[in-house]
A and B are shown apart, each in its own frame.
Chain A
Amino acid sequence: MSKIPVTYKRTDLQSDQEVKWCPGCGDYTILASVQNFMAEMGISKEKIVFVSGIGCAARFPYYMNTYGVHSIHGRAPAVATGVSVSNPDLSVWVVSGDGDALSIGGNHLIHALRKNVNIKILMFNNQIYGLTKGQYSPTSEEGKKTKSSPFGSVEMPLNPMSLAIGAEATFVARSIDMDRDLTAGILEEAKNHKGSAFVEIYQNCNVFNDKAFEQLTNKETKVANRINLVHGEKTVFGEDGHKAVVIRNGIAQIVDTKDVDESEIYVHNIHEENPSIAFSLSRLSHGPYGPTPLGVFRKVQRDTFTEEVHDQIDNAKEQKGEGELDKLIRSLGTWDVS
């Protein structure tokens, strides 16, 4: 990363391409959050690479004045792995949708996370296939009526936070499009994280799945439903903190604060090595319905794939010396014919 901190104006990070999402789409808000954050992130823009798959969300790279690859459906984590391991100096960001990351690209997502490739994955979850005009996705709720499920979806949705934690992810967080401060804070934490970061961002698709996250954005309901996970702080939420999270027998539960001893209230620790509590927190909601945790679930240190690959290369060079072709082609033994 560049030594002299660079700062930009937000406009420096905007490409000259017209943004073509539907008016009112949550993607605009996220784009603004990312551009604002990147203007101050301290990394010069030629070192930033955005990689995406296919979908509405996946158009994102075209709007960033950085390097970018708009690849194919579901494969962005794999493309980004190639970018990151090829040039560890780059700041590599993946933008994906719920269909892109969890359906067609589920395999690549879990392997990028488990390998701890140094890439930051932002998954815009609108619980719908936007670009293909409104089919249910792997995060759509059971019973969801869409064009491809006129009688309601009969599928159990995935819980992206649980999946990421189960896939050995070292950084797992959730934000929501409308909360720019939360998004900015999480992006900052993700950027500083060594290894892969998985950030789910709830994103409103006002055309095909409007108000999916209303419980978390509506003034009247959001206080009761947002469980803000803050490292080092007691996890209380609701009006005047009248609700709290406690861990009983290893399982996170929501209780009335008044019913428990203060010492029992869960103090969030993102650095806890054992993933069980983070996993249990992820089970407090299964979609944005009722009390839902937002913030960083987990941030732990592990060697990154990117670094380890290069350590092996450096070691090999140290031990064997820089490779020489003439030696290589003779390495299986030779004989002379005169």
Chain B
Amino acid sequence: MSTENKTVESIPAITIRFAGDSGDGMQLVGTRFTDTSAVFGNDLATLPAFPAEIRAPQGTIAGVSSFQVQIADFDILTPGDNPDVLVAMNPAALKAHLHDLAPNGMLILNEDAFEEKNITKAGYKVDPRESGELDGYRVFQVPMEKLTKEALEEFDLPGRAVLRSKNMVALGLISWTFNRPLEDTENWINNKFSKLPEIAKANIKALKTGYNFGITVEAFHHTYVVEKAALPAGEYTNINGNIGLSWGLIAAAKKANLDLFYGSYPITPASDILHELSKHKNFNVITFQAEDEIAAAAASVGASFTGKLAVTGTSGPGLALKSETISLALSAELPLVIVNVQRGGPSTGLPTKPEQSDLMFALYGRHGESPLPVVAAKSPSHAFYAAYEASRIALKYMTPVILLSDNYVATGSEPWNLPNTEELNELETNIITKLNTEDGFLPFLRNVDTFARPWALPGTPGLEYRVGGLEKEEGTGNVSYDAANHQYMTDMRAWKVSNIANDIDKLEIHGDETADTLVLGWGSTYGGITQAVNRLNEKGVKVASAHFVHLNPFPDNTLEVISKFKQVIIPELNTGQLLKLVREAFLVDARGINKVSGEPFTAQELTDKIEAIINE
């Protein structure tokens, strides 16, 4: 191998997007490149995007799947804005993603896929390589299919299996271009195909073929390296939000000394939580795949009644079905965590796209006066802590809690500096085993600090009690239609929730505290907002940010924080839901930056929009 002509340019960060047909294995290529970079020591963040259809017609735009990763030698918070490198495995992938590629960006095309049939299928009238629309990019055409076929000739594999390895050629070439070693991926392939050694060998050959193509072809002799990031010391893993959330629930159950029950009905993008939890039965986790979301929630209420940490997870359409059951948990004052991994709505909407449009639904989507705490995850690794926090509140206050995530948090990944699990706080419960008055058991006699009622579990002698959705008399829990009692219980349920404001983390200010402008956010916009504020501060623009994890109740210092600023800007992936809440609760003339396109904000987009408002 002659590598003497190679030059290596060191760059602080790079954003690469792999795009191809759903069957082209782009998610795999992206994850492999990410893992290798993580082990190498870069900071990184990823954003996968899949079509909602499992196998949309091959070669069409609808069938394009992509994976974007930003790697950096410094601390980053988002998967990058416009990619610097786009790998397009076919004309449809090019058409779907070219508009995002940064000016003068590197465009690597699988030239074998640019046949007339595919070009037409993608909706091009003329071959884009000849129409001039690729001017302004650095285009590299690579005969990936031909290379794969030649390389795998020696193997006795059917033609389709051979072509499937072309993603490894792409990965090999990118690994060369960004100076990433192949060992990690080779080990991974050997592991994955340990029972199919021929396939393993073929994939490794394809990987090396891509790499060697870089060595031989002069066009690829200018290579790049992104050095290690100076991350805080620690042991890291690369985590996505669905897994982080699942582990947070397992950790919470452990630290509460309870077993976990997870009731769910499959729905994108929440299903991976069900998949993940169902693997961990050795943690005494019961996963229940119900006949529908109503049953999933109802069974979780039953589990909660018996003393489990009960959780029911879904996405928007499923949350709608759970509404009545959540009211039951609220009225019966049973702990329950309801996970809503938000996607584009309304109705079936955009199943694989992120949106923050269920905030109002989480807060108010029930009949009657039915307040409950709402917690939101702000990044993939934070999903662990958000799940832990939602469980803590549910158990301590005997209430259902809605935990919001979204497709961006759920499927995106980032390095997570692993916590010392011994330092995670033990979680309190209200389990009771003895009578709470001399005259007998009062299931609605409350804790004077938290207003939580005692949690008597079936199997405990002497505490037999009945609970349901009819209004209960304070103390006895007996059915009561008394007017004053209903007023009292309604107020009590509201106090119980608002009182939690004293027991949650305060809202923290990030950035320039002396600024006039505060950017306020919640959930998955955390990375984008923080990065935007950092960029503006670096440019000398005075601005600060604060991010809600608790959306009901808000932290008790929220008014104090907001009052420090003259202007409040609220970016959200909805039409202005937190905006309404903040305007109503704090009487501030806040401004929204809103987007409902099924895509996350990029940091640059937010930087520009925030700056524009400041400069008005």
A residues sitting closer than 8 Å to B (CB atoms) are 15, 17, 44-47, 49-51, 61-62, 64-72, 75, 78-87, 89-90, 107-108, 111, 309, 312-313, 315-317, 319-323, 325-326, 328-330, 332-338
Contacts and interface: CB of A to CB of B under 8 A. Distances in A.
Nearest to B278: A312
Interface stretch (B3-11, B279-287, B491-499, B559-567): B279-287
Given A69-B332, A86-B302, A90-B306, A335 B235 contact: yes
B290 A90 contact: no
Interface in B277-326: 280-286, 288, 290-292, 294-296, 298-308, 310, 324-325
13 contacts: A61-B466, A66-B464, A69-B467, A71-B469, A82-B263, A86-B261, A86-B308, A90-B306, A108-B291, A313-B286, A334-B236, A334-B237, A337-B232
Contacts of A15: 466
Contacts of B232: 337
A329 B290 contact: no
Interface in B251-291: 251, 254, 259, 261, 263, 280-286, 288, 290-291
Contact of A337 (B236, B243, B288, B324): B236
Contacts of B295: 75, 78, 81, 107-108, 111
A75 B297 CA distance: 10
B282 A316 contact: yes
Contact of A330 (B237, B299, B300, B479): B237
A333 B34 CA distance: 13
Nearest to A318: B282
Interface string B588-599: 000000000000
Contact of B251 (A107, A325, A338): A325
A232 B74 CA distance: 80
Interface in B446-469: 458-469
Nearest to A51: B302
A45 B465 CA distance: 11
B452 to A, nearest CB: 19
Contacts of A336: 234-236
Contacts of A332: 237-239, 243
Interface stretch (B20-28, B35-43, B159-167, B504-512): B35-43
Contacts of B302: 51, 69, 78-84, 86
A338 B236 CA distance: 11
A333 B465 CA distance: 47
A106 B235 CA distance: 51
Contact of B479 (A62, A84, A111): A62
Nearest to A69: B305
Q: Which 7 A-B pairs have the closest CB atoms?
A: A82-B302, A70-B468, A82-B299, A323-B283, A78-B298, A316-B281, A68-B466
A90 B305 CA distance: 12
Q: Is the interface of B mostly helix, strand, loop or mixed?
A: mixed
B305 A17 contact: no
B231 interface: yes
A146 to B, nearest CB: 25
Contacts of A334: 235-237, 418
A108 B470 CA distance: 22
Nearest to A338: B233
Q: Give the size range of B's interface with the partner.
A: 35 or more
A71 B298 contact: yes
Contacts of B263: 82
Contacts of B458: 46-47, 49, 67, 83, 87, 90
Interface in B407-425: 417-419, 421
Contacts of B332: 69
Contacts of A309: 286
A323 B233 CA distance: 27
Nearest to A68: B466
Most-contacted residue by chain A among B295, B304, B467 (CB, 10 A): B295
B244 to A, nearest CB: 9
Contacts, number: 204
Most-contacted residue by chain B among A49, A50, A69, A111 (CB, 10 A): A69
Given A72-B325, A79-B298, A337-B233, A329 B479 contact: no
B213 interface: no
B39 A335 contact: yes
A17 B236 contact: no
Contact of A82 (B292, B300, B468): B300
Nearest to B302: A82
Contact of A17 (B243, B281, B300, B478): B478
A86 B306 contact: yes
Given A78-B290, A326-B421, A335 B236 contact: yes
B597 to A, nearest CB: 32
B328 interface: yes
Given A46-B458, A72-B325, A86-B306, 12 more contacts: A17-B478, A46-B462, A71-B301, A78-B302, A79-B299, A107-B295, A325-B251, A326-B421, A330-B235, A333-B39, A337-B228, A337-B233
A271 to B, nearest CB: 28
B250 interface: yes
A90 B467 CA distance: 17
Contacts of A49: 305-306, 458
Contact of A70 (B243, B306, B325, B466): B466
A76 to B, nearest CB: 8
B554 interface: no
B465 to A, nearest CB: 7
A82 B259 CA distance: 13
A320 B234 CA distance: 27
A150 B302 CA distance: 39
B298 A67 contact: no
Contacts of A326: 421
A314 to B, nearest CB: 9
B444 interface: no
A75 B282 contact: no
Contacts of A44: 461
B282 A45 contact: no
A110 to B, nearest CB: 8
Contacts of A64: 466
B522 interface: no
Nearest to A76: B298
A86 B308 CA distance: 7
Contacts of B325: 72, 75
A326 B325 CA distance: 35
Interface string B202-246: 000000000000000000000000001001111111110001000
Most-contacted residue by chain A among B239, B280, B458 (CB, 10 A): B458
Contacts of A319: 282
B41 A337 contact: yes
A69 B470 CA distance: 11
Nearest to B229: A337
Contacts of A108: 291, 294-295, 298
B415 to A, nearest CB: 8
Given A321-B282, A337-B41, A46 B459 contact: yes
Most-contacted residue by chain A among B294, B299, B461 (CB, 10 A): B299
B469 A72 contact: yes
Contacts of B292: 107
A307 B236 CA distance: 39
Nearest to A115: B291
Nearest to A108: B295
